Copies of this chain bind each other. A is one copy, B any other.
Amino acid sequence: MIPPREKWSTKFNEWFRDVIARAEVYDYRYPVKGVGIWPPYGMKIRNNVISIIKKLLDETGHEEVLFPMLIPEDILRKESEHIRKFEEEVFWVTYGGKRKLERRLALRPTSETAIMEMWKLWIKDHTDLPFRIYQIVNIFRYETKATQPMIRLREVTTFKEAHTAHATMEDAEKQVRTAIEIYKKFFDELCIPYMISRRPEWDKFAGAVYTIAFDTLMPDGRALQIGTVHNLGQNFSRAFEVTYLKPDGTHEYVYTTSYGISERVIAALIGIHGDDHGLVLPYNVAPIQVVIVPIPYKESEEEVFSLCNKVLEALRSIGLRVHLDDRDDVTPGEKFYYWELKGVPLRIEIGPRDVAQKCVTVSRRDTLERIIVKVDEIKEEIPKILEDMRNDMRRRARKWLEEHTFFTQNLEEAVKIIEDRRGVVVTPWCGNTDCGLSIEDNVNGRILGTPLDMDVDVKGMKCIMCNKDAKTVIRISKTY
């Protein structure tokens, strides 16, 4: 009795746009390409997701800050690799009122340059390090590709960017590992399965020494990048002259890292767990965790509502976000339909039989499974069911990703898997850039990079393209 996933699996794009609109998560009808609105329900999901990442960052020594949105052109240009990438996709402010500005101001595409400009003033001494900050801001990219709600935007409204500075490369490396651990916990909290890959050289962040990315796999068989961690080495600190005084009295450039996530995380959450009925939300991000629907009959109305209120109070008293849907101009069936669309994890139905048996009927949104719970045990049982549901969601999604990951050493087979959008190919590679680009051309997909979460011994394996000795395996997929 699992809810259908026909539209979800066959027409995912259409399903996604339809569901975020009807469930009022994101309104994409604003008359500027690639920007959208968070209406109240979506905003609550967004804020719950933000709370989770903030907590993880606060617990690990990061401090929240807020930097300006405007970056003067000369500052954006200081790191040459960085601007080379962003030059084509930066929005420029050129006028203030009717006056032409003396220098153009970029809408931040990311904040490394603005932050470095201030770190020059903030960081002086080795005792100032490590330095860890983050902010949650809007960023802008003039995307020329087809834009897509929450996934490819011109205004990314929810960019969490962390920036750190360190005394040594080792410490920066350690921070990269910490960042990876933070993101793993974060995605686990949201039940989003992930692949961790070191991006190939040609696909790293502009100005980075290397980039490690988290990708997930969407129902349409395309990988979605949902988080990146960059080791920037001294590239930015040299360009911006950010140095610190070492104990021995000499100065050295700091080593920096940065790592970010965006509302793509919410797109992944919705895409991966949804079904043809609508959203399916894990309880920790659900604006409403439990909805109570009375099923009154004429003679029993009073008892039914009395039990509904009792259950409402009991669940509120343990801190759950509960809603009693007591509308009298809507049938219970319409209510079921509405709250399923909204992804509320648990529905509690209360009718005369429940009153008589001192029970309630609980329905899990993910499986539509019905569970009878004694009224007396509701405070213990409901949190357990919510936690079970979340664990099951995480497990199922993880399994789905594994089932859509294929190891092959055969190019034709790789081409076929990608062409059929069956998911991710793992295959050996010699490490040569030309060969890598050839593979991307041939399979008509992107190399996500070398898996960091997979143990593969490539001894004896040959590159899928040139047949020379493989140096590593790589993940390949269609991407967003």
Contact = CB atoms under 8 A, between A and B. Distances in A.
Interface string A190-222: 000000000000000000000000000000000
Contacts of A43: 63-66
Interface stretch (A91-99, A159-167, A447-455): A91-99
A128 to B, nearest CB: 13
A375 interface: no
Contacts of A27: 118, 121
A249 interface: no
A91 to B, nearest CB: 5
Nearest to A92: B95
A181 interface: no
Nearest to A89: B97
A327 to B, nearest CB: 12
A133 interface: yes
A38 B66 contact: yes
A95 B91 contact: yes
A70 B32 contact: yes
Contacts of A91: 93, 95-96, 105
Contact of A68 (B40, B68, B104, B155): B155
A68 B36 contact: yes
Given A43-B65, A64-B47, A66-B157, A31 B94 contact: no
Contact of A96 (B63, B104, B142, B155): B142
A37 interface: yes
A30 B92 contact: no
A94 B95 contact: yes
A447 to B, nearest CB: 26
Contacts of A30: 67-68, 114, 117-118
A473 to B, nearest CB: 36
Interface in A35-61: 35-40, 43-44, 46-47
Give the 9 A-B CB pairs with smallest separation, nearest first: A96-B142, A40-B63, A38-B66, A92-B95, A35-B68, A88-B97, A94-B94, A91-B93, A97-B142
Interface of A: 27, 29-32, 35-40, 43-44, 46-47, 63-70, 72, 75, 87-99, 104-105, 107, 114, 117-118, 121-122, 133, 138, 140, 142, 144, 154-155, 157
19 contacts: A27-B121, A29-B118, A29-B121, A32-B72, A32-B105, A35-B68, A37-B68, A37-B118, A38-B66, A39-B122, A40-B64, A68-B155, A69-B140, A69-B155, A70-B154, A70-B155, A90-B97, A97-B142, A97-B144
Given A37-B66, A69-B140, 10 more contacts: A27-B121, A30-B117, A35-B70, A37-B65, A40-B65, A70-B155, A90-B97, A91-B105, A92-B95, A107-B107
